[in-house]
């Protein structure tokens, strides 16, 4: 058993895992289910009962999610937007608020993230009223006794936009009915992807006004065809609900069959996609009911967060409510600052317990060297260093196997018609020479989870998105434009294979000889950061095995066919 064969198993297991992930995504997308299964959840079903409370008006129903698009001359229908959207921006984020529909955030553009490295005009847009793939918030207050309520269907008056001395900007909206005045203020600080929402509820009537707060994330999924070489194919794109310790992914077919209704403290809800997240985050220590439904026919999903305990504003009184929204990249440091646990929206999969420390190490090294490509090389070196003793014992075993290769071939020729005798003679030779053929296998198997975990770190970490390396590699998240790095990686795999003992079976030997070509073709379309990682690992393996073979006195013919 030689080193390259184990690397093949590592690639096979990684590919199997990725194919399974893609199969899951495809299955939940195309599975046919009965129509008209969208669930309309009563708006106050989870609020604690109040004296004289009336049934819900159904304002939170899934059917109430289609955005109101306004006709504009010369504007395509898919891009038609309300004419009076209010903009609120800082140096990294710009959001647009629609006063005609609840004074809600309906558009959001990231100022420093672009669709591609060379396209500095088209910025990443996380929230939109696009007819075919809309994604936006609905927020408001619900009255528990049937009074007028400032929900997401109501029209608000835009009052003003303020700018504080520290650079913080705010936009104020107002709603009033039956003696209840509600001021709705959005606050955006400089260099922040957090938008804070502050309610001020004033009771100018003669009666009490009990209410609960809520927010919803509405998303219509666009149908996008992706190839197996598109890294976004393997990233989860959908909703999650966090319970304070872990999160649950929301799959469309599961929601159609059984809508979710759970209660959490310190929870939050979000839609995540490759590198980006849109999250609604209630105040800490507050108890909210989280509800999720999906209409498969229209590819339409809704995640609601509804306050479980109603509050009361007494005549002449004032109450305040707050909620935060994160609309931006999955920058783990910023996510953790906003709410501990929010950084878990970075989806490292089942090996996150290994991926997180590897990302920590990658980030620490980057803080010193200032280049993500160099950081990838140094982290790969660190992984190799940790497993140096294990791989050294594996290398010694493979060097011994190479030394015994001529005798192995002689046994095969002598007993070519008697497989049982061939196996017995081989085992006797191993026993006499004190060689364990599996000794070169297990040390490599131990490393496979670390290789896969680091793969997911490079795949999911937005910090590496469009990051330059050197020379022609100016985007580590995209393929090598000239395919130079994949060719170097293939050459590295070829030399690594030459340093290891050849398989005894001729057919296996032909397959192993073809592996560098196959991997080169496959990695040619992978992000260059992943290719750099694999190439670096191959070079380090070559250096280690070369040293072991030299100490063992094993001579290797590096020529093709040698």
Model pLDDT for residues 133-149, shown as the tens digit of each residue: 889 999 999 988 888 89
pLDDT digit string (tens) for 386-408? 877 766 666 666 666 666 667 77
Q: Find tokens 């909210």 and name the residue.
A: 288
What pLDDT, on the 0 to 100 scale, is given for residue 34? 32
The pLDDT value recorded for residue 55 is 32
> What's the pLDDT at 449?
84
DSSP string for residues in 82-140: -TTPEEEE-SSEEEEEETTTTTEEEEEEEEEEEEETTEEEEEEEEEB--TTS-EEEEEE
pLDDT tens figures, 360-382: 999 999 999 989 999 999 998 88
Cβ atoms of residues 347 and 272 within 8 Å = yes
pLDDT of amino acid 459 = 83
Q: What is the pLDDT of residue 69?
A: 41
Q: Give the Å distances, CA to CA, from 423 to 416, 419, 430, 470, 508.
A: 11, 6, 11, 52, 17
Whether residue 6 is predicted with pLDDT greater than 50 in this model: the reply is no
Residue 324 phi, psi (nearest 5)? -120, 155
Residue 448: per-residue pLDDT: 77
At 423-451, the pLDDT tens digits run 777 777 777 766 666 555 555 677 778 87
Q: How confident is the model at residue 108 (pLDDT cuts 50, 70, 90)?
A: very high
Instruction: Mean pLDDT check: name the lowest of 59-68, 215-224, 277-286, 495-504.
Output: 59-68
The answer on pLDDT for 244 being more than 50 is yes
By DSSP bridging, strand 135-143 and strand 119-127 are unpaired
Query: What three-state secondary structure class fits 207?
Result: coil
Mean pLDDT over each residue of the chain, to the nearest integer: 77
94-106 confidence digits (pLDDT tens): 999 999 999 999 9
pLDDT at 282 > cutoff 80: yes
Task: List every span in the chain annotated with CATH 2.70.98.90.
Answer: 38-67+81-347
CATH tag for 38-67+81-347 (out of 2.70.98.90, 3.40.630.30, 3.20.20.70, 1.10.150.120)? 2.70.98.90
What confidence score (pLDDT) does residue 36 get?
33
Which position has the token pair 């502050």? 198
pLDDT score of 502: 60
Tokens for 43? 């708006």
3-class secondary structure, 394: helix
> Strands 238-242, 180-188: parallel, antiparallel or unpaired by DSSP?
unpaired
Which two three-digit tokens encode residue 399? 């060097």
H or E element that contains 442: helix 442-460
CA distance 213 to 324: 13
pLDDT at 212 over 50: yes
Q: Report how far residue 179's alpha carbon sits from residue 313's, in angstroms, rounded to the nearest whole number.
A: 12
Decide if 535 contacts 480 (C-beta within 8 A): no
* Share of residues in the chain with pLDDT > 90 (%): 30
State the pairing for strand pair 260-265/194-203: unpaired
Residue 442: exposed, middle, or buried by beta-carbon count in 10 A (0-12, 13-18, 19+)? middle
Residues ≥6 apart with Cβ < 8 Å to 210 = 50, 143, 144, 145, 310, 311, 312, 313
What is the rounded average pLDDT of the residues 276-286?
Answer: 91
Mean pLDDT of 236-260: 88
**pLDDT (0 to 100) of residue 391:** 67
Q: What is the dihedral of CA 325, 329, 331, 336, to 10 degrees?
A: 20
Q: How confident is the model at residue 177 (pLDDT cuts 50, 70, 90)?
A: very high
What pLDDT score does 61 carry? 54
Comparing 435 with 195, which gets the higher pLDDT?
195
Q: Answer whether residue 234 shows pLDDT above 70.
A: no
Q: CA 66, CA 243: separation in Å to the nearest integer?
A: 28
Alpha carbon distance 68, 81 (integer Å): 8
Confidence of residue 414 (pLDDT cuts 50, 70, 90): confident
Give 508 or 68, the one with higher predicted confidence: 508
pLDDT for 144 equals 86
- Name the pLDDT band for 175 (thresholds 50, 70, 90): very high
**Sorting pLDDT into bands at 50, 70 and 90, what band is 200?**
very high
- Where residue 103 falls (left for φ over 0; alpha for ψ -120 to 50; beta otherwise) is left
| Cα of 379 vs its chain's centroid, Å | 21
The phi-psi region of residue 203 (left if phi > 0; otherwise alpha if psi is between -120 and 50; otherwise beta) is: beta
Higher pLDDT: 509 or 1? It is 509
pLDDT at 43 over 70: no
φ/ψ of residue 412, rounded to 5: -65, -40
How crowded is residue 169: how many other Cβ atoms within 10 Å of its Cβ? 17
Residue whose token pair is 């929230």: 127
Number of residues written out for the chain: 562
Instruction: List, for residues 9-25, the tens digit of each pLDDT value.
Output: 455 454 444 444 433 33
pLDDT at 176: 95
Within 13 A of 425's CA, how many CA atoms are on the CB side? 16
Neighbours of 488 (CB within 10 A): 17
Take residue 485 and report the two structure tokens written for it: 């790095």
Flag whether pLDDT at 253 surpasses 80. yes
């Amino acid at each position: 058993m030689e080193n390259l064969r184990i690397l093949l198993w590592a690639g096979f297991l990684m590919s199997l895992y990725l194919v399974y992930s893609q199969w899951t995504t495809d299955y939940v997308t195309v599975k046919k289910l009965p129509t008209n299964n969208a669930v309309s959840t009563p708006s106050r079903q989870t609020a604690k009962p109040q004296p004289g409370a009336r049934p819900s008006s159904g304002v939170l129903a899934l059917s109430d999610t289609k955005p109101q698009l306004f006709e504009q001359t010369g504007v395509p229908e898919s891009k038609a937007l309300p004419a009076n959207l209010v903009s609120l921006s800082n140096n990294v984020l710009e959001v647009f608020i629609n006063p005609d529909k609840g004074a809600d955030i309906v558009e959001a553009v990231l100022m420093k993230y672009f669709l591609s490295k060379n396209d500095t005009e088209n910025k990443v847009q996380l929230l939109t009223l696009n007819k075919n793939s809309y994604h936006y918030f609905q927020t408001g207050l619900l009255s528990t006794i049937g009074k007028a309520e400032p929900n997401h269907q109501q029209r608000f008056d835009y009052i003003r936009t303020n700018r504080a001395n520290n650079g913080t900007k705010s936009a104020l909206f107002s709603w009033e009915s039956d003696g209840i005045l509600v001021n709705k203020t959005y606050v955006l600080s400089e260099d922040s992807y957090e938008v804070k929402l502050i309610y001020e509820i004033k009771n100018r009537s003669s009666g009490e006004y009990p209410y609960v707060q809520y927010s919803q994330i509405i998303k219509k999924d666009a149908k996008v065809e992706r190839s197996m070489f598109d890294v976004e194919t393997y990233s989860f794109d959908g909703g999650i609900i966090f319970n304070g310790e872990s999160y649950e992914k929301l799959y469309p077919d599961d929601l159609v069959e059984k809508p979710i209704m759970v209660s959490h403290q310190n929870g939050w809800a979000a839609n995540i996609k490759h590198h980006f997240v849109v999250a609604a985050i209630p105040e800490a220590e507050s108890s909210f009911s989280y509800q999720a439904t999906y209409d498969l026919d229209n590819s339409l999903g809704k995640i609601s967060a509804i306050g479980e305990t109603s509050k009361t504003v007494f005549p002449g009184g004032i109450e305040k409510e707050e909620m935060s929204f994160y609309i931006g990249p999955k920058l783990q440091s910023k996510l953790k600052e906003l709410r501990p646990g929010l950084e878990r929206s970075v989806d490292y999969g089942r090996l996150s317990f290994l991926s997180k420390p590897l990302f920590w190490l990658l980030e620490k090294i980057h803080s010193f060297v200032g280049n993500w490509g160099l950081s990838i090389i140094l982290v790969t070196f660190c992984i190799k260093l940790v497993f140096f003793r294990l791989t050294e014992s594996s290398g010694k075993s493979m060097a011994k196997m190479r030394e015994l290769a001529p005798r192995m071939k002689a046994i095969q020729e002598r007993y070519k018609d008697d497989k049982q005798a061939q196996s017995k003679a081989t085992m006797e030779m191993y026993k006499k020479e004190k060689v364990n053929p599996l000794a070169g296998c297990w040390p490599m198997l131990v490393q496979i989870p670390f290789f896969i975990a680091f793969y997911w770190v490079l795949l999911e970490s937005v910090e590496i998105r469009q990051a330059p390396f050197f020379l022609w590699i100016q985007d580590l998240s995209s393929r090598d434009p000239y395919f130079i790095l994949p060719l170097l990686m293939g050459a590295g795999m070829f030399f690594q294979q030459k340093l290891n003992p050849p398989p005894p079976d001729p057919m296996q030997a032909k397959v192993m000889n073809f592996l560098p070509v196959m991997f080169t073709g496959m990695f040619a379309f992978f992000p260059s950061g992943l290719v750099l990682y694999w190439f670096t690992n191959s070079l380090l393996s070559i250096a280690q095995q070369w040293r072991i073979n030299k100490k063992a006195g094993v001579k290797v013919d590096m020529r093709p066919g040698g």
